[in-house]
Amino acid sequence: MGIMALVPKGIKSWLRERISRVTAERMAALDSRVATLEQSVGSAEQRLGSAEQRLEPLENQVMSTSVIKYIPYRSDEQCFALPKGPGPDCDRCEFGLPIAPDSVRTGWFGQPSDVHLAARKADVDAMLRILESSGADPLDGCRILDFACADGRMTRHLYPFAESCEIWGVDITAEAIYWCQRYLCPPFRFATTTTVPHLPFEDGYFNLFRIHCRTSAGRLKWTLANHATL
């Protein structure tokens, strides 16, 4: 026998009405909350759509003016002449390679040549020690990329490997790359790039790369881009 069978008829009717009324009230409250949430979601979607509309032209503007860029050579001049050679009296490093003038040394203006080169040689020596301690294969026959090479201040210290390796330097500063192409090529090779993570090499082309960026965001995006070329 069910529980309701033991309850007097008057109370049964009252319980049924009470349960029905409470259920209806709760359902109405739930419906109201659902409607409120739907309105909030709809409002959020409208705001998101409006934000996306405002963002699109800004993204196009950024891509056209600040992201895809490099530092051109003498951009304020209508024409310029490239000298044929560094001249017999130019300073040279231990490998006999010309040393860039002060005006070309991006970020190292005024630093004496010996200090300038010694610091970069220490960096290359440290890199080679790390490779050796990690059990990496010898560099002979490797394709090496010096990213953000500037005036080749580190690239030149890979000269002992230049005969057996294909060594590239890239930078967004056209003046530095022009100088490197005139005075350090051969034995090295150089190309101008932009700030957008794209390199003129197929994926998997290089065995080793060295990267230098001034910002953590720049390091991340270019590290990921360079990773594809390894």
In a domain, 28, yes or no: yes
Q: Is residue 24 part of a domain?
A: yes
Instruction: Give yes or no: residues 21 and 107 share one domain.
Output: no
In a domain, 54, yes or no: no
Cα-flanking dihedrals φ and ψ of residue 170, to 5°?
-130, 150
CA angle 145, 150, 152 (to 5 degrees): 65
Give the chain's mean pLDDT. 75
Query: Which residue would you say has higher pLDDT here, 140 or 71?
Result: 140
Tell me, yes or no, whether 111 and 16 share the same domain: no
Does some domain include residue 208?
Answer: yes
Pair 223, 146 in one domain: yes
**pLDDT reading at 166 higher than 90:** yes
Q: Residues 100, 201: contact at Cβ < 8 Å?
A: no
pLDDT class of 165 with cuts at 50, 70, 90? very high
> Between these two residues, 222 and 18, which has the higher pLDDT value?
18
Q: Is residue 219 part of a domain?
A: yes
Question: Does residue 206 sit in the same domain as residue 128?
Answer: yes
pLDDT at 227: 47
CB atoms within 10 A of CB 226: 19
Q: For the chain, how many structural domains are there in total?
A: 2
Residue 109 lies in a domain: yes
- pLDDT tens column, 28-45: 888 888 888 888 887 887
> Looking at the whole model, is its pTM more than 0.95?
no
- Residue with token string 């960026």: 213
Does residue 95 lie within any of the structural domains?
no
Q: Are residues 35 and 106 in the same domain?
A: no
* CA-wise closest residue to 206 among 191, 185, 186: 191
> Is 142 within the bounds of a domain?
yes
Q: Are 138 and 185 in contact (CB under 8 A)?
A: no
The rounded distance, in Å, linking the Cα atoms of 196 and 217 is 12
The rounded distance, in Å, linking the Cα atoms of 216 and 6 is: 77
Answer yes or no: do 113 and 199 share one domain: yes
Residues 145 and 33 in one domain: no
24, 125: one domain:
no
CATH assignment at residue 138:
3.40.50.150
Question: What's the residue count for the chain?
Answer: 230
Domain that holds residue 161: 102-229
pLDDT value, residue 60: 55
For residues 161-199, one letter each, b for 16 or more C-beta atoms within 10 angstroms of the residue's C-beta and e for the rest, the string is: bbeebbbbbbbbbebbbbbbbebbeebbbbbbbebebeb
> Do residues 117 and 211 share a domain?
yes
Find out whether 183 and 209 touch, Cβ atoms under 8 Å: no
SS3 state at 166: strand
In which band, very low, low, confident or very high, does the pLDDT at 18 lie, cut at 50, 70 and 90? Answer: confident
Q: What is the pLDDT of residues 56-88, one digit of tens each?
A: 665 555 444 445 566 667 777 777 777 666 555
- Supply 88's token pair: 């017999």
Asked whether residue 120 falls in the same domain as residue 221, the answer is yes
